[in-house]
Amino acid sequence: MKFDWEGIFLNGLDWQQSLEIGLRTLIMFLLVLTFLRLSGKKGVRQLSIFEVAIIIALGSAAGDPMLSNDYPILPSLLVFTVIIVLYRIITYYAGKNENFESLVEGDPMYIIEDGQFVMVSRTSHNFAKDEFLAELRNEGVSHIGQVETAILETNGKLSIFFYPDDKVKPGLPVLPKLYNKKSEDITNQGIYACTNCGNCEELAQSSKCSRCGQKEWVPAIDKLRIT
């Protein structure tokens, strides 16, 4: 089978079309950038779910005019204008009504309290544990016994409140080499942390967690934070 490489990469594209695509891309990019500046946001980590949806809508409106001369720019500009006006109206009312703001932006979620994961249904806290542990490591956390409270904000940022050194307690390690020692088999007596909820217990043999009922454990550590 012979591939039509010219058709795959060019498909009849000439220099005039290339320049037009470049110009369209520049115009649409400047429009997207203008909207982001009007939104007042400084970075992606400051975007809520609602604002991410707005960005996706902008990308959809901007994408077609960039690539095809079948789509004029003015209709996309109209879409941008409607989105900007809608964004301003929604953010205005969100600032006036807390219930409406909660509906649009979502609510902060408590992930850790008292050095343990908050016990809620999985449908309430829909986050990937591996990503969350990576966030903790980025903040210099080696085990969750160092953390008094951790809150997942509506913009995806993690707010962490630490125990003072004299109140740090044994906790579930978040460092990969230590966390990967998890097992349901316990042969040596010691303090172990439940990998599901972070509860720590002194065990001498395999057992279910008294807090969540799971059976997977990892040796707990009580190392202080290095600041």
Confidence check: pLDDT of 43 > 60: no
Confidence check: pLDDT of 66 > 80: no
pLDDT digits (tens, 9 = 90+) for 127-136: 678 888 999 9
Q: Residue holding tokens 């006036």?
A: 96
pTM for the structure as a whole: 0.69
Mode of pairing for the β-strands spanning 109-113 and 147-152: antiparallel
Confidence check: pLDDT of 157 > 70: yes
Confidence check: pLDDT of 88 > 90: no
Which parts of the chain fold into alpha helices (H)?
5-9, 15-39, 49-67, 73-96, 98-105, 129-138, 176-179
Confidence check: pLDDT of 42 > 60: no
pLDDT digits (tens, 9 = 90+) for 108-155: 889 999 999 997 644 445 567 888 899 999 999 999 999 999 998 887
Confidence check: pLDDT of 227 > 70: no
Q: Do the beta carbons of residue 195 and residue 214 sit within 8 Å?
A: yes
